[in-house]
């Protein structure tokens, strides 16, 4: 049993990572990399609700499960950012034990440079970057097999990515961020290794892990293509989201009101280390506006933009799944 900021029993906790959202430049190149090279499912093709003339692309597993989702705001021509203090410095995907060798060959055959494999908390890790320079990792985790996958992207099922494994936050100091994770969101400190402290939600395991890493405070991050915009933590219900948001407020932080994101309800706040956090509900999920079988195939717009569909479609650059015939040339 854990206790929250005001001594109440902490009955509401986050189950871990809901999604990670990053910035990209060219949308087709982004789609080719994540749905092609990495073999993720495009689970939603929509627009940036705050800038509806640009895409918001969601990648994940077969069902678009919370914890499998990496999303992008691709702004054509976006200036490249710089990963540094106050950001999510790396996003790691889980792959099955024994699959890392297959993945290294896959990256090499697709012309993706990677670092030499290392071990972290006993697990093999390989680091690489997406075409915009976003730092990514693959972690071979024995519990990866418990999670959903997608075998429609050209990666054999036995090797396919099994959701987000963990995120690493780059911080000048970790204490205040650690307090938010433990006292507001219900994470627990589980391990230390070098300059890295690991926190886990619920039963831990892939999708429930966040590492806090102390980085030289001079390495300030700058937003832009190839950087993470925010990381979202799961709330099981709307009521849980409100409870978690209240605890964030009680720590003197300033969460936004609940915002309807169509596929989840969201609250955003800047944690003391500078990283933008979101709390996102598991329901209603990505089948809210299209069937599970055809997730990601059609451009979906929230109700407020549906009357402007023709204008929006006219300005969005055409994109197509890797291997598909571009619509305009069909
Ligand atoms: Zn988000």
Would you say residue 74 has pLDDT above 60? yes
Position 281 pLDDT exceeds 80: yes
How far away, in angstroms, is 257 Cα from ligand 1 center? 14
- In this predicted structure, what is the pLDDT of residue 216? 86
Q: How far is the CA of 292 from the centre of ligand 1 (A)?
A: 21
What is the distance in A from the centroid of ligand 1 to the CA of 261? 8
- Give the Å distance between the CA of 165 and the centre of ligand 1: 17
Interval between CA 108 and ligand 1 midpoint (Å): 31
Longest dimension (CA), the chain: 62
Q: How close is the Cα of 43 to the center of ligand 1, in Å?
A: 15
Could you tell me where the beta strands, DSSP code E, fall in the chain? Answer: 17-24, 41-48, 51-60, 69-74, 87-95, 118-120, 123-129, 135-140, 164-171, 188-193, 196-200, 209-214, 228-235, 259-260, 265-270, 276-281
Q: In this model, does residue 4 exceed pLDDT 50?
A: no
Please say if the pLDDT value at position 85 is more than 80: yes
pLDDT beyond 70 at 326: no
pLDDT tops 90 at residue 195:
yes
pLDDT number for residue 2? 45
Q: Per the omega criterion (within 30 degrees of 0), is the bond before 284 cis?
A: yes
Ligand 1 (ion): residues with CB under 5 Å are: 21, 232, 278
Three-point CA angle 47, 52, 55, nearest 5° = 35
> If pLDDT is split at 50, 70 and 90, which confidence band does 8 have?
low
Q: For residue 328, name the pLDDT band (cuts at 50, 70, 90).
A: low
Confidence of residue 11 (pLDDT cuts 50, 70, 90): confident
- 117-156 confidence digits (pLDDT tens): 999 999 999 999 999 999 999 999 999 999 999 989 999 9
**Is the per-residue pLDDT at 223 higher than 50?**
yes
Q: In angstroms, what is the span from residue 278 Cα to ligand 1's centroid?
A: 6
Report the pLDDT value the prediction gives residue 209, as an integer from 0 to 100.
98
Q: What is the pLDDT of residues 35-73, one digit of tens each?
A: 999 999 999 999 999 999 999 999 999 999 999 999 999
How many Å lie between the centroid of ligand 1 and the Cα of residue 46?
13
Mean pLDDT of 232-251: 97
- Which domains are assigned to the chain? 5-329 (3.10.180.10)
Task: Report how far ligand 1's centroid is from the alpha carbon of 325 (Å).
Answer: 30
Residue 329 has pLDDT above 70, yes or no: no
Where residue 245 falls (left for φ over 0; alpha for ψ -120 to 50; beta otherwise) is: alpha
Centre of ligand 1 to C-alpha 328, Å, is 31
**Global pTM?**
0.95
pLDDT at res. 327: 53
Going from the Cα of 116 to the center of ligand 1, the distance in angstroms, rounded, reads 31
- Tell me what the pLDDT averaged over the chain comes to: 94
Cα 28 from Cα 321, distance rounded (Å): 8
Report the pLDDT value the prediction gives residue 323, as an integer from 0 to 100: 78
Distance from residue 287's CA to the centre of ligand 1 (Å): 17
In this prediction, residues 216-239 reach a mean pLDDT of: 94
Query: What's the confidence (pLDDT) of residue 84?
Result: 95
CB 287 within 8 A of CB 240: no
| Distance (Å) from CA 44 to ligand 1 centroid | 13
């Amino acid at each position: 049993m854990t206790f929250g900021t005001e001594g109440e029993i902490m009955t509401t906790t986050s189950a871990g990572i809901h999604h990670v959202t990053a910035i990209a430049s060219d949308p087709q190149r982004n789609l080719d990399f994540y749905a092609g090279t990495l073999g993720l499912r495009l689970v939603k093709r929509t627009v940036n609700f705050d800038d509806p003339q640009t895409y918001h692309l969601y990648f994940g597993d077969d069902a678009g499960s919370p914890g499998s989702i990496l999303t992008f705001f691709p702004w054509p021509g976006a200036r490249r950012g710089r990963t540094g203090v106050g950001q999510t410095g790396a996003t790691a995907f889980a792959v099955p034990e024994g699959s890392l060798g297959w993945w290294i060959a896959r990256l090499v055959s697709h012309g993706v440079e990677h670092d030499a494999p290392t071990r972290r908390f006993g697990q093999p890790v390989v680091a690489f970057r997406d075409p915009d320079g976003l730092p990514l990792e693959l972690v071979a985790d024995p519990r990866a097999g418990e999670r959903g996958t997608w075998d429609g992207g050209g990666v054999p099922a036995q090797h396919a990515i099994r959701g987000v494994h963990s995120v690493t936050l780059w911080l000048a100091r970790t204490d205040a961020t650690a307090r938010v994770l433990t006292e507001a969101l219900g994470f627990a400190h589980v391990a230390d290794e070098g300059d890295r402290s690991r926190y886990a939600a619920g039963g831990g395991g892939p999708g429930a892990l966040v590492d806090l890493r102390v980085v030289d405070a001079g390495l300030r991050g700058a937003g832009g293509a190839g950087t993470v915009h925010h990381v979202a933590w799961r709330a099981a219900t709307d009521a849980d989201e409100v409870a978690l948001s209240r605890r964030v407020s009680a720590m003197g932080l300033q969460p936004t009101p609940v915002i309807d994101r169509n596929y989840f309800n969201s609250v955003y706040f800047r944690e003391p280390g500078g990283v933008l956090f979101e709390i996102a509900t598991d329901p209603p999920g990505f089948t809210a506006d299209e069937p599970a079988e055809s997730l990601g195939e059609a451009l979906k717009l929230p109700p407020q933009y549906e009357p402007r569909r023709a204008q929006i479609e006219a300005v969005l650059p055409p994109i197509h799944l890797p291997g598909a015939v571009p619509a305009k040339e069909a």
